[in-house]
Structure 1
Amino acid sequence: MSTQREMKEKNPWHRPVTIIITVIGVIAIVALVTVAVLQNWPLSQKYKYGIVLDAGSSHTALYIYEWPAEKDNNTGRVEQTHSCTVKGPGISSYASAPQKAGESLTECMQEAVHRVPKKRHHETPLYLGATAGMRLLNVQNSSASNKVFQAVDEALREFPFAFQGARILSGQEEGAFGWVTVNYLDDRLRQGLETNGALDLGGASTQISFVSSNYDGSESPSNSVNFRLYGNDYNLYTHSFLCYGKDQALRMTLAQQTRSGPTSILDPCFHDGYSETKEYSKLYDSPCVSDRKPQEAPSTYIHTGKGNFHQCQEIVKSVFNFTHCQYSQCSFNGIFQPHLQGPFGAFSAYYFVMNFLKLTNTSIPLEQVKEKLAHYCATPWTQIQKQYPNVKHKYLAEYCFSGTYILTLLTEGYNFTSESYPNIKFIKEIKGSDAGWTLGYMLNLTNMIPAEAPDSPPLPHAGYISIVTVIAVLLFVLFILSMRPFWPQCSKEPQII
């Protein structure tokens, strides 16, 4: 017994103080590991939401966006989670029955109510932006335009979102916000990369926006927009051509062919065999062509097709004015445009038309694209109908014109050449979000893109964990070393054998 007691007294690990220090050290290490694990444990993500209604000339579309709630300080990536196309025409079509404009939005808005979590409803901003269709109606009948907006306003306030009002976007805003959307989704703004130009084609207007190194805004200030985004300055050239969306451009080409008031026209922009009786009053009821209506015109005319791409292109060219330019260089109608620069994203009707025609691959030489379109236009109408039985009659009949108009607008209007045409990419969406002005509009109004680059932590997460681990190991080693006085001592006495 006395021998065991002596061994315990000589062994420092049997001392109470040593035991306490050891236990505390072990607890400290376990606590450090536990904190590190809990710190990096995946948390359930919380999101905020925004809703934008795009009230275009031909239809209205609703988009729902979301972003991480804990990154609301200008660093959270905004993504589209849902879209809904409103049934019926654009709200500008309800000028004679404005109440129906508000009612038409109900179904898509009810979808939004179910898509956005209920606890987020009251803080979710809701915007409605109207574009060229309402711009034209406002020019034609401002009283009717106001009544449509009043009906839309009343309808949207019935829903549990933070409605921010409905208004008409200027053409410059539409072009600039489209440019923001395209470059935001492609991460070019955050990373300070060369930006993409934006080409937008709607039913009533078309926009071109791009950054040019040789344009400082001095030659045509009305086409200049300055942005400071993520710490970088952008001097953007942008212009919107009202009446040069594909639907209004078609009206202008038909007005060009009916200016003498004929009872029938043979239109090269429509397929051979196509024939339909149309009313003069409906053709000329737009401000884009109302002043051109022939005085002695009959009530109707027979619209027949001929299917000739090259003749169609000549008619399309007639709606552009290339004779006047007071600047160093112009696109058309006397509008200044600097030299094209960089890649371009072409969206909205650009994509839908060229995708239908299977011409979105711009690696195909431009001349070959024209040949393919010429072949399509020359296809008889009966064959086209059999080939595409599920496509709506109106759209199917107009694809030859729309494709010809797009190529003419790009090459003759905006000055794309065989060399620069491959720089165009026809896009519907980028990383799951639709290309268009709506996202850029919401980002601007919610200040989701900072003027300066967001602050970042001094160390990346992995570096932080590494440093914590090294410090923990160092503390553990120091703790062991501090226990040195209590380590067992080797006996120096000679052993008795």
Structure 2
Amino acid sequence: MKRQNNFPLHFLVLLFLCRYSIASSHVRRLLLSHESEHYAVIFDAGSTGSRVHVFRFDTKLDLLPIGNHIEYFLAINPGLSSYANNPKAGALSLKPLLDKAESVVPKDLQPQTPLKLGATAGLRLLKADAAVKILQAVRDLFKNETTLNYKAEWVSVLDGTQEGSYFWVALNYLLGNLGKKYERTVATIDLGGGSVQMTYAISKESATKAPKEPNGEPYVLNKSLLGTNYDIYVHSYLNYGQLAARTEIFKASGNLSSSPCILGGYNGYYTYNGVAYKASSPKHGSSLRKCRTLAKKALKIKAPCKHKKCTFGGIWNGRGGQGFKNLYASSFFYDYAAMVGIIDPKKPSGRAKPIQYLHAAKLACNTKVKDIKSVFPNIDERNIPFICMDLVYEYTLLVDGFGLHPKQEITVVHEVKYKNYIVGAAWPLGCAIDVVSSSS
């Protein structure tokens, strides 16, 4: 005999409809909430202008296009440092960028979309508390004018360590290396104008034995990226970027009225950070050998090393290893390689050897300033007097500073092909990946 069901038929129908309604409503909410994607809004507050980058990722953190581009980008001039006497006006200059960025991010995703601002050289150079007041004005703007996910500590002046680590993250992401073992990642040397950053992943053993930097900061950062933990060695050498290093080389020559690094026939000055340096060539022109001596002196190659191995200036080198085996050099390394014909300037990257910079330096140092365009027709007018110095410095930095073999092949990179796009490996992308990866 079958057991009788005690539930009335109409109750069962209502229960089914209720469950169906709840399930379909849940599906509908999932579809409408864009839970399959993440956004990040990153402000780059540079010395010449402010830029906003909006990035869009899927759940696997693959970069997705926004419209016809791989990111949304908008820039304005001047930069925040121009508002030293009016911080509120500086903050308000970002409002059009903020409004545009918000219009790109779906409304229901805005509360969980990170909003970060990193200021670079421009604010670093401001006197007294001008930078502090500008940053506070920006924090007030973000707090009152946006529904994006904002934290006060996410508005700051980037230090070299942050720039270096974000660049490493961005480049390895674009190359498809993140999420893999640290041995599969590449090392980066980013030669900017004011500083140079070396960054690469090291073994857990090396990380545990890492000393502290001279200022007490750690040499090693630990980051979890795409489900993989990385110990990342990073050091920023302030005053050893391409433009700042010129002043260090001038200082290394003492009170000489001329410099063997300046092209023959040039008599003038080099101004950096408001200080003018005499930049005149000796009577017999520039000398590669003497310029090399000055470059090594400027780098403090012979500084005491308290560790088993150092780069220059007594700085710990991270112990090398598999993460340093494949090296990518960027910024001025790429610019000069393209300018003097080491690589094809029409391509976003190319292979080079340090010794090729030395060969180019020999040509430059043996050429008079009036003839340099016939040797290197693509050289920028501003760099003409310093081309011997710059190429000597880049070779010396790679070989004597960072310990590369003169014939070691490296990649000099400006941009990377990602899917069907050419993408610049800039710090805002690395910052976006870092913050989205840590929050997802």
TM-score normalized by the length of structure 2: 0.70
1:331 lines up with 2:311 in the alignment? yes
Describe the superposition over 1:359-410 as per-residue Cα deviations: whole angstroms up to 9, x where unpaired: 2487555434411222034332223357888975334444433332222111
Deviation at 1:85, TM superposition (A): 6.2
Name the structure 1 match of 2:406: 418
- CA shift in 2, pair 1:316/1:105, >3 Å: farther
Structure 2 residue 298 is the aligned partner of structure 1 residue 319: yes
Q: Give the secondary-structure state (helix, strand or coil) at the position aligned to 2:294.
A: helix
Cα distance between partner residues in 1 of 2:200 and 2:189: 9
CA spacing shift, 1:383–1:236, aligned 2, 3 Å: same
CA contact (8 A) 2:199 2:234 kept: yes
Q: 1:67 aligns with which of 56, 59, 65?
A: 56
Aligned to 1:51: 41
- Counterparts in 2 of 1:150 and 1:325: CA distance versus 1, 3 Å: same
* Secondary structure of the corresponding residue to residue 290 of structure 2: helix
Provide the C-alpha distance between the structure 2 equivalents of 1:272 and 1:103, rounded to a whole number of angstroms: 49
C-alpha spacing 1:170/1:379, structure 2 compared with 1 (3 Å): same
Kept in 1: contact 2:225–2:434 (CA 8 A)? no
- SS of equivalent to 1:373: helix
Question: What's the CA shift for 1:104?
Answer: 7.4
RMSD after superposition? 3.9
Q: Which residue matches 1:81? A: 71
Q: Which of 204, 211, 227 lines up with 1:220 in the alignment?
A: 211
Whether 2:336 is the aligned partner of 1:350: answer no
Does the 8 A contact of 1:210 with 1:237 survive in 2?
yes
User: Quick one: distance in 2 between partners of 1:246 and 1:142?
Assistant: 27
Shift of 1:348: 2.4
Moved more, 385-394 or 238-247: 385-394
Q: 1:149-164 maps to which residues of 2 (within 5 A)?
A: 149-150=135-136, 162=148, 164=150
Q: CA deviation at 1:301?
A: 4.5
Superimposed CA distance per residue, residues 74-121 of structure 1 (whole angstroms, 9 cap, x where no aligned partner): 544356425566556x655765776786687688x38x8289638669
Q: Which amino acid aligns with 1:218?
A: K
Match of 2:195 in 1: 205
User: Which of 360-369 and 185-194 deviates more?
Assistant: 360-369
Aligned residue for 1:440?
A: 430
Query: What is the match of residue 276 of structure 1?
Result: 268
Please name the residue that 2:288 is paired with: 309
Question: Is 1:251 aligned to 2:247, yes or no?
Answer: yes
Gaps of 5+ in 1: 1-44, 285-299, 451-497
8 Å CA contact 1:55, 1:91 repeated in 2: yes
Does the CA contact (< 8 Å) of 2:210 and 2:219 recur in 1? no
Q: Residues 160, 304 of structure 1: CA spacing in aligned structure 2 closer, same or farther, 3 A cutoff?
A: farther
With over 3 angstroms needed to count, the CA separation of the structure-2 counterparts of 1:313 and 1:197, relative to structure 1, is same
Q: Percent identity of the aligned residues?
A: 25
Using the alignment, how far apart are the partners of 1:327 and 1:212 within structure 2?
16
Query: CA 1:360/1:407 → structure 2, altered by over 3 Å: closer, same or farther?
Result: farther
The 8 Å contact of residues 340 and 379 in structure 2, kept in 1 or not, is answered as no
- 1:382 matches 2:365: no
Instruction: For structure 2, list consecutive stretches of 5 or more residues without a partner in the other structure.
Output: 1-33, 213-217, 345-349
Q: Show the 5 A alignment for 1:413-492.
A: 413-419=401-407, 421-422=408-409, 424-430=410-416, 431=418, 432-447=422-437
> What do residues 31-64 of structure 1 show as CA deviations (whole Å, max 9, x unaligned)?
xxxxxxxxxxxxxx997643323345x5456352
Q: Which residue pairs with 1:168 in the alignment? A: 157
Contact 2:166 2:427 (8 Å CA) reproduced: yes
Distance 2:195 2:238 in 1: 4
Corresponding residue for residue 6 of structure 2: none
- Give 1:429 deviation, angstroms: 1.5
Report the alpha carbon displacement of residue 302 of structure 1 after superposing the two structures with TM. 5.9
SS of residue paired to 1:215? helix
Q: Please identify the structure whose Cα radius of gyration is greater.
A: 1
Matches within 5 A, 1:121-200: 123=110, 125-132=114-121, 134-135=123-124, 137=126, 141-150=127-136, 162=148, 164=150, 166-192=155-181, 194-200=184-190
